[in-house]
Every structure is written in structure tokens, then in C-alpha cells.
Chain A
Amino acid sequence: MQEECVSLQVCVSVVGALECVVRRCLGPDGGSVLFTRDTGETLITRHGQRLLSALHLQHPMARMVLDCVCAHAKATGDGTKSFIFLLAAVLRGIQDSHMHRKGSWSVPGLRNLANRLMAVSRKELEDITTHKITPYASLYCSLHSYKLEGNVLDLLIGGYISGRVGIGQADVLKQVLCEFYHKVSKDQNAAETISFIHSNFSFLHTTVTGLPIGCSEVIEGLVVTRDWSVWTELEGPIKALILYESFGAVGENIFVCIQRDYVLCTESIMKQKLASLLDLQVHVILSSVKQPESVLQWARLNRISLLECVDLPQLEFLSNISTAETLPHAALQQLVMLKYCRRMQLSGHRYACLGMFSHMHTLVLCAPAPGLLDQTVCVSQGVFAMLQHLSESFCQKPANTRSDQSQNVLSSQDLWGGIMHAGGVIPVGGTFEFLLHHYLLNERKSCDPESCRLLAEALLCLPRTLYAHNHRRFLNIQIRFLNDLKRWDKTKEQESEMPELKFGFGLSESSALGLESVSGKKQLVVSVLQCLHRLLCVGAILHTRSLLRTGLQTYDEEDEEEKPERSDFTQSTDA
């Protein structure tokens, strides 16, 4: 058994290595990272979580950080790159402070510090966000409401994607995503729409390669990436049959007994089956499997459109959203009503397009090459994950401030407007970090000024990296921001008229203006401090060769499969 001592030094270098990879992709000015495997797979991404998960992390501490990052991403859907930066900055801050003290941090001392930081995150951070930052955000938004009104969503999406796709593509993608959202939502409950899009995104988009991203569009109806095997032009509402099995299926391990006239017998069985379909008056058949040629011929003769080999999950999705009626005599057949059926041309292929009675739309995402397409799809999906987290946190939180009835049905305008006025969003580009930095330093009541200062200094690393190419700009912005803030504080005391806060727009010179969620940002700080706590509490790593079983012996089945595997991995890969 090997023992490896974990010092602060190790933590700093491990997190520093991660930071080094992530540094290249931060913010709108960042670049992307290309992964390749010998198998020919490529992955191009700027997405923090995908980036970190794709790395083969050897050091157990690094994998622990990754776990924390994933947990955070699951909670907010945003901020994974900032997570690594902040963590690295806090660790470096601790290291520096220890150098000043000219004595090394003892393990209990470190643990103590970690606990104190956690306490700061529980008390001071909470205070500052509720009493200082939220009012600021709310005030900011109301001052700029003439610019923000109606396009909060655009700005939120813009803020999210600007750091994840190249500069030229962000605008186009933002427009098409907003259009998609508005077309799907159409006066429906906004929160529900978001969670509907988020959970069914894989069915609601289709991809095209070889065209620039600007050609992306939104199409009415559900696009199925198969061509009609039998196609007849049909009008108006259509009754459609969903089939999950082949009509000619014989099945496996079956004896076929050939008797006299068997040829005619098999034929007549098929005929009976098909005749029963005619009784149902269906005009469209959607099948998840290939049907025998004779069914195709029958469909052609009876002017019925037939679509074969539809993706099974997609077919199930279709039957779910249009409340399919299952036929009593056959379990694997369902009836649905369709608004229309079309045959459409997309990127040189003929696809089927099914019209729904709900506001169903399909997002068509284009990109010149598959890797780039993958990135675009991933970002679009991430946008809706982020929006869902935001709308969820908004709908849960202020139950006391709003009446119950309005909580049930929120239109799109209400939801995003509500979030904006409640101070739920703040301009991107370091506003949150500047504010928190300022208030943490000036918090007079704080019982632990040392930890506060540590955190406050670390926070500034984010805007500093964002403006890495132009350090003077960073200083200018900071000075201007502080001046603004002082004026704001002064006027608040005098209760006179508020001055215009230019800060957020001052930043937007180079990047498009965007908004981000305050609660997500707060969660980021909390998550980082939790992760730090976990890191600092580790005293030593033991490299064993035996099977690791931690915790209770009674696992859930899922745990049982995952955990031992991971511990194997830990042992075999030495740092």
C-alpha cells in the first residue's frame, strides 16, 4: 500500500492544471478545444463540463473536483469553467496567505479555514445576495427596462451562448433559438414550455451538415428523418395508426407447418389483418419497423401513406404528446390524429413532416461539418437546461410575494419579466463578481474578515481572465464600476433620485450584452467553497490494490454497478 500525502501544494497544482485547459475557452474571446481519439472520433467544445469529462483525469483529487463540477452543473446548468477558476484562485489565495505568515498551514488549520469559508458562504454570502446584489440587479433592470423589456430571454440566451460558440455564430444561433422558443410556447405556461423543450430536445431538433449555421431555421410540425415509403397527398386532419411490429412477423423459434394450400392461407391471414385496418379508416401508417412488400403494395392500392423505420423513442414521444388511443385488440397498435402530413426536402434528403395539433415545431440546426454541428446542438440543448434551472428557481422561491393563482399559469412575458424585476438576472461580464468583491470587503458586521477578504480577492480573478488580453481595460472598468457604486450608495442614503448606472452597458462594448442568473452565480460560489472544503479535508491518499468498498454494504443496484468500477480505476492509475 502506498501513501501519498496531500498538501496544499498538491491541490494547487492539480486544480491549476485543470485551470490551464479551461482558461483557453473562457468568455466570448476564448477559443475552443479539439479532442481526438485514434478511433477517429473528434469532439470540439467550449463547454466546461464536456471539456473536463473528456479529459482522462489521473489524479484522484482531480476526479474529485470533476465530481463537484458535475454536481454543480446539474444544479445550475451553467458556470463550470468559472468553477475551476474560482477554485484555483481561492486555493492560490490560501497558499499566498500562508507565505505571508511564514509558517505552514497545519492540516487542522486548513480544515479550520475551510470551515470558516463555508460559514461565510452560509451567512455573509446569503446576506449580501439578498440585501445588496438582488436590489442592485432589480434596480439596474428597472432603470434599463426600456432596453430590456421583452427581450430578457434574448439577453439570457445571448449571455449563455456567447461563451460557448464562436463570435460569428452566436448572433445567428441566438435568433433561431429565440424564434424556436416563441413558436413553441405561444401563450402557454412558460415554465412548462421550457421544461417540455428541455426534456424532449432530442426529438425537437434535426441536423443538417454542409450549410453555414446561418441557414438554421424553425419548421412547423415534427420532422421525421425518414422518407415516406408510400406517399399520397392527403388533406386536413388525418387519422394515423402507429405500429410497433411487422405485419408479416413470424417471430423466432417458431415451427412453420406447411400444409396443403399454405400459400393461400398465409395470404389470407395477412389480408384479414389489413382489412381490419381499413375498417379503422386510417390514412397514415407510422411504423417503427420495416413492413413486408405486400403491405406496401396494399397501402399503394388503398391510397394510404406509409412511413417505415421511424425511431422508436420518437414514435413513443409522438404518441405521448398527441394522446394516442391504444386499440383494444392489438397492444402494439395506437391511433393518433394528425393535423397534416407532408413530404419535405431538407439538405438533399426527403423527410416526412407530421403536423400536430399542439404548437409543435422542429429546430433545424445547420453547420458546415459534423464536429461543429455537434457543438451547436450541445449549446442549444444547454440553453434550455439553463433556462429551466432559472425558471424553476424563480417559481419555487417567492411563493410569498406572488399570489397563488398567478403561480400556476405564467405567460412567457410574465415569467421573464418577473425574473427580471425580482432581480434574478444581472449583466454578464463580471458584474456579480465586482459587486460581491466590493461588499465582502466592506462588510462591517462580518465576524471573519480574513476569510471574507480571501474570497473577495479570489472573486476578481474571473473578470481579470475575461479581459486577459487587455489588462488596462480591466482596471478602467473596475474603477468606473466602483465610482458608480459609490454614487449609488450615496444617493441611497440621501434617498434622492437614482443616477443612471452605466456599468453593465459599459462592459458590453466588445461582447454582445447578455444577462445571467444571480442565483446560479451564488450557487457557484457556494459549490466552490463546498468543493474546497472537500479538498482540504483530505489528509492523504492511499493507493491500494484491493477492491474498495466504501460506505454501507447495502447499495442500490445502480450504485453497485458504478462504485466498485470507479474505485478500481482510482487504484490503478497512480498520480
Chain B
Amino acid sequence: MSRICKKKPAVCTDEPLSNSNICQKIFLFRNILSTAYGPTGRLKQIHNNVGGHVLTTSTSTALLRRVDMSEPLLKMISTAVQHHTARYSDCGMFMGIFMLGLIENTQKYNLRTITAAKVYKHLVEECNAYLKGDSCGCKVPVDLTSCDSLIALACSMITSKPACMLNSRETQHISSLIAQAFLYSIPCNSSGVTCFGRTVTIGIEGQSVSDSSVFPGLLVDVPEMLHPADVERLGSGPFRVVLFNVSLSGDISEVGDVTLEIHRGVDPERDLLKQLLKLGEQVVKEKVRLFACQKVVHPILQHYLRKHGVVVIERLGLALIEPFVQITGAQAVASVCSLVPTEAYGMVKEICFRSCGSRELLQILPSKDTAVSTMVLCHRNETMLEELKMTCQRAEHVLRLTLREPYALLGGGCTETLLATHITHMNESSAATTAAALCVSQSEFLMAVEAFCSSLQSVALSLEHDGQDCLIDLTYAHRWVPDIYTKTCGCGLVEDRSNLEKTPLNTAYHTFSPVSLKNSPDNQPRILDSFSAKLNALNVAVEMANFVLDVKYIIKDIN
């Protein structure tokens, strides 16, 4: 009879949000996030106390993935942010700070959960309607015919990641590369259903950032034994290509985990090699000039092919197979026993050597437009390179999101201040009717509105880390910093002038309806945020905050 251990009783926490220990942890978490927010955010260094890898970052994705939360509620919040960034690549920090702000403010104003949930839900719907509507003052259309707004969008994403350690010239360079890679990945003159192309990213360490660049086609490592002369000897393209995705090593291990019984006089490996060489003969006869294989190619076959002037690329790897298929149009051949079918051959326009910094790479140019490009990113050390790679991939994703919704939001905290002002103003006059419709008392309603708007403003406040005040102007409701050198607001849309009245952001001021500025071509905001990402972040943040507030009891099983 097996023994069953007596279970320990579970640890229960009633009303977790009124527990001071948990509140303190929430405060700490918010502090970690808000100090890392924005272009001047402080970097966070994460390391294990027994040594190992040290990570320096200020992005929510990298930060949250590495930090384990002890509190189940915080763990939920952290997962929600990670799931958001996995979808939208941006605004993770915004979401985290806003959500925690909402939770803290609800506690501070002592609102009932049910009231808070109803009012927040109502307000976020109002925000959605405002942001999606035509009269929205914090939205600018993204003009896909010029790359200015694309570059601005990419640039704001990069500047908000200070761990990339870029100076302003390098930032400009990288953001134009991102826009370039994005434009390469859009297939042109295609009809019907089209797919995005893809950008393959290669990182080179120890090189200056200005060496980074984007190339059309695919860049792969130069195979051993291939010399520039061999490539020159090929002449000019286009060339025929064949691609294998099975091992051509000549081993018979592929049969699997079975017992082999080999007849006398039969040498399976020699048979296989014979078969491989037969393939080689066919390939040479059919004038193939580029022979690529995902896995290993038998040295004898390689030698044979090289002797006949065929360029061999082996160990391509699974990740590169799909882009390779895309640029060449070849079908991956999976069998060594039969002849290569004619349909399986592909074409490339040209093969050439490229030197990127210290590294030599082989560039494969597609014969037709295939929307595949390779971005080579260089940076001084591994940590920075890692951060830069991630940032570039995310920025490109954000650019792609603009194709679905071709808008961007004002960056630099202006969207938050504007939205908060708009919501306060909207709800002040109609408080009585809305409160009645939501079945809450008017005072509760007004308090919840205040909690919501001050949480939004607290995100804008988090942009500032040097102890300076944040200001809001009382005409356009944009965010300002009291600095004699800056002549524009946070996003760069409004010029400063002497009669513009400003007040510190976290003080009381009378409500007003923000005046919206007409977008003129010569007056474009410098800092832009992704529209889709921020909209989703706003919605998810409110939903999660409501949900966290809703948790009334935590039962921790410690067995």
C-alpha cells in the first residue's frame, strides 16, 4: 500500500490588493517599468547571483522574460504584457505602466471593483471611438508614398531603446535601413493573394554601426574552398539552381532505429555514394551552376561538382530554406534515389561576393522580384548587437502593422496627455447621465474617470527621469519639458510661443477641449508611436486591470 503524505494546508490571501506586502510589490514592479521607459530610460542589468550571462536592457520583452515574479498576480500581468508584445512588438512598457497605474489608483481612490470595472470599460470604449474617429487630434495618417513617416516611426522605436547605444547619426542610419528593408519586403506588381517577403538578419560583432546595411537577395556564409575566381569563372547569370533538403552525406543512418542485416558482398555505403555521383552527373549535365543542400554533402560529390564548375553550398540550415526557396523558385528535393525532376530546378540572377565589415559573404540575387532581403547589422559588442537585432526586427514588424491601419499616434507622451484631457472634458458635462446609465453614483463615476486619466498621465510622466517637471499646455494638451533649448512639444508638432499657457502635469487644472492642429506637410511630428500596438495595449491594459482588481482571494498550494 502506497503511503500518501499528509498535505500541507494552502496559504490563502483574502483581498490581495489590500495586502500591504502585495501592494509594495506592485509598486516596485511599476517602478522598475517606469524607470526604464522612454528614450532617457535607465537601463536594467539582469544577472544571476551565481554568475553567468549579464543582460543589459530597457525593453519590456527582454526584461520580463528574464525576471521571475514571486507574486501570482504580477506573474499574470507580466505574461499579459509579453503576450501583447509578441503580437504587436511595441508598447509593452506603456501597457505595463498604465495597467499598474490603474490598479494603484483604484486602490488609492478606494473605488469598488464593480464600479471601477464598469467605468473603465466605458472609458476605454470612448478612447477607442475617439482614436478611431476622424476628429482624433493625436492621430496622423502614415503616408506610404513617402518614407518620411516610416523613418520617423522606426526612429522613435529605436530612440526609445537606449540599450542599443546609438548616437543620433547611427540612429538615423539604422532607421533608414529598417524602412528600406520594410520596402524590400513588400512584393510589387503581384496580383491576387500575396505574401510578405522576409528580411533575414545577420549580426556582425565588433564592427561600427555605420557598416550595417541592407542587401536585396540572400546572404550566406561563403563555403569553404570557394574563391572569388570560381565565381568569376561562372560568367553572367542567370544560373540554374538545385536545392536538397535531405542529407547527401552518404550515411545510411536514415532508416531509423532498426536492426540492419547486410548480405555478403553488399556495401550499402558504396552503393549510396554511387547513387550520389549519379545525381552529380545529372546535375552537371543539366547545366546547374548552384548546388545547395540543407544538410551535409559528401566530400567526393562536392569535389566532383566543383571540378565541373558548380558552386556548392552545404549546411544551409532549416531557417534559410524558406527564403532560399522564395528567391530561387526551386523545389526542395527530398530523395537521392531518383533523378531530379525538371520542375524542381530554380533560377538565380547572379552570385557575387560581398564584404561586410570583417566578414565575407556570398550574395545570391533573385532572378525575379521576390521581396527577400538581408539586413546586416553591426555593433560593437554582443549585448548591444542582441538588443539592436531585436529592436530592428520589432521596428520592421511595427512598420508592417501600418499597412493594416495606416495611422500613427503622436509620440513623446503627447497622445497620453491629449487623450486624458479629452476624456476628462468629455465626461465632465455628461457625468450625471453616464453615471445613471452605468448604475453608479455620480461621485464614484467622477473619481473613476480621474483615476483613469491620472493613470494615463502617469505614463507621460514616466518619460522623464532627470527630476524635471512635465508640463502640459492648456490649448493643445501636448506634453512639454521645461527646457530653454527645446522649442517644440514632446512629439514635435507644436512650436513653443510666449503666450502658450503651461502647467505641471500632475497638478489640478481646469478641464478644456484640446484644440486639434491641422496637419500640414511642412509640420510633421518627429516622434510617432504605432497606432495598432498602442490601441491594443490600451484595451488589454484595461481588461487586465479589471481582472486583477477582480481577484478577491488567492489560494496558494505549497505542496
Contact with A along B240-264 (1 / 0, CB 8 A): 0000011000001001111111110
**6 pairs, CB–CB < 8 Å, chain A vs chain B:** A28-B114, A37-B559, A167-B118, A258-B261, A259-B266, A573-B6
Smallest CB–CB gap between A507 and chain B, Å?
12
Is A213 engaged at the interface, CB distance under 8 Å to the other chain? Answer: yes
Within the assembled complex, what's the spacing in Å between the Cα atoms of A252 and B259? 9
Is B25 engaged at the interface, CB distance under 8 Å to the other chain? Answer: no
Contact with B along A290-305 (1 / 0, CB 8 A): 0011101100110000
Are B547 and A372 touching (Cβ within 8 A)?
yes
**Contacts of A58 on B, CB cut-off 8 Å?**
7, 9
Residue of B72, B260, B550, B551 with most partner-chain A CB within 10 A: B550
What number of B residues sit within 8 Å (CB to CB) of A? 76
**B interface, over-half SS:** mixed
Are B540 and A256 touching (Cβ within 8 A)?
no
Are A36 and B555 touching (Cβ within 8 A)?
yes
Is A103 engaged at the interface, CB distance under 8 Å to the other chain? Answer: no
Name B113's contact: one of A31, A271, A297, A347 (CB within 8 Å).
Answer: A31
Is A176 engaged at the interface, CB distance under 8 Å to the other chain? Answer: no
Are A368 and B9 touching (Cβ within 8 A)?
no
Is A497 engaged at the interface, CB distance under 8 Å to the other chain? Answer: no
Are A166 and B547 touching (Cβ within 8 A)?
yes
Are A166 and B334 touching (Cβ within 8 A)?
no
Name A293's contact: one of B16, B246, B263, B543 (CB within 8 Å).
Answer: B246
Smallest CB–CB gap between A214 and chain B, Å?
7
**A interface, over-half SS:** mixed
Is B188 engaged at the interface, CB distance under 8 Å to the other chain? Answer: no
Known: A38-B558, A56-B10, A259-B266. A264 touches B544 (CB 8 A): no
Smallest CB–CB gap between B1 and chain A, Å?
7
Within the assembled complex, what's the spacing in Å between the Cα atoms of A534 and B256? 60
Name A42's contact: one of B5, B75, B542, B550 (CB within 8 Å).
Answer: B75
Within the assembled complex, what's the spacing in Å between the Cα atoms of A261 and B270? 11
**Contacts of B272 on A, CB cut-off 8 Å?**
263
**Contacts of A34 on B, CB cut-off 8 Å?**
16, 72-73, 76, 551, 553-555
Are A213 and B543 touching (Cβ within 8 A)?
yes
**Contacts of B1 on A, CB cut-off 8 Å?**
547, 568
Is A255 engaged at the interface, CB distance under 8 Å to the other chain? Answer: yes
Smallest CB–CB gap between A395 and chain B, Å?
37
**Contacts of A71 on B, CB cut-off 8 Å?**
none
Stretch among B81-89, B152-160, B411-419, B516-524 lining the A interface: B81-89
Within the assembled complex, what's the spacing in Å between the Cα atoms of A217 and B473? 42
Q: Give the top 6 A-B pairs by smallest Cβ distance, nearest first.
A: A31-B552, A293-B334, A210-B83, A168-B121, A267-B337, A297-B334
Are B341 and A211 touching (Cβ within 8 A)?
no
Contact with B along A20-31 (1 / 0, CB 8 A): 010011001111
Are B4 and A568 touching (Cβ within 8 A)?
yes
Residue of A32, A168, A233 with most partner-chain B CB within 10 A: A168
Are B268 and A262 touching (Cβ within 8 A)?
yes
Within the assembled complex, what's the spacing in Å between the Cα atoms of A107 and B109? 53
Contact with A along B312-339 (1 / 0, CB 8 A): 0000000000000000000111111110
Known: A210-B86, A301-B344, A547-B1. A24 touches B552 (CB 8 A): yes
Name A255's contact: one of B2, B246, B261, B536 (CB within 8 Å).
Answer: B261
Is A44 engaged at the interface, CB distance under 8 Å to the other chain? Answer: yes
Name B550's contact: one of A31, A250, A260 (CB within 8 Å).
Answer: A31
Name A263's contact: one of B4, B258, B271, B553 (CB within 8 Å).
Answer: B271
Is A398 engaged at the interface, CB distance under 8 Å to the other chain? Answer: no
Is A169 engaged at the interface, CB distance under 8 Å to the other chain? Answer: yes
Are A233 and B72 touching (Cβ within 8 A)?
no
Contact with B along A26-61 (1 / 0, CB 8 A): 001111111111100010100000000011101000
**Contacts of A300 on B, CB cut-off 8 Å?**
331-332
**Contacts of B117 on A, CB cut-off 8 Å?**
166-168
Chain A minimum-CB-distance residue to B7: A56
Smallest CB–CB gap between B382 and chain A, Å?
28
Are A209 and B334 touching (Cβ within 8 A)?
no
Is B511 engaged at the interface, CB distance under 8 Å to the other chain? Answer: no
Is A320 engaged at the interface, CB distance under 8 Å to the other chain? Answer: no
Known: A348-B86, A510-B439. A250 touches B332 (CB 8 A): no
**Contacts of A32 on B, CB cut-off 8 Å?**
547, 550-552
Are A168 and B118 touching (Cβ within 8 A)?
yes
Chain B minimum-CB-distance residue to A264: B337
Is B433 engaged at the interface, CB distance under 8 Å to the other chain? Answer: no
Smallest CB–CB gap between B334 and chain A, Å?
3
Is B56 engaged at the interface, CB distance under 8 Å to the other chain? Answer: no
Are B258 and A254 touching (Cβ within 8 A)?
yes
**Contacts of B500 on A, CB cut-off 8 Å?**
none
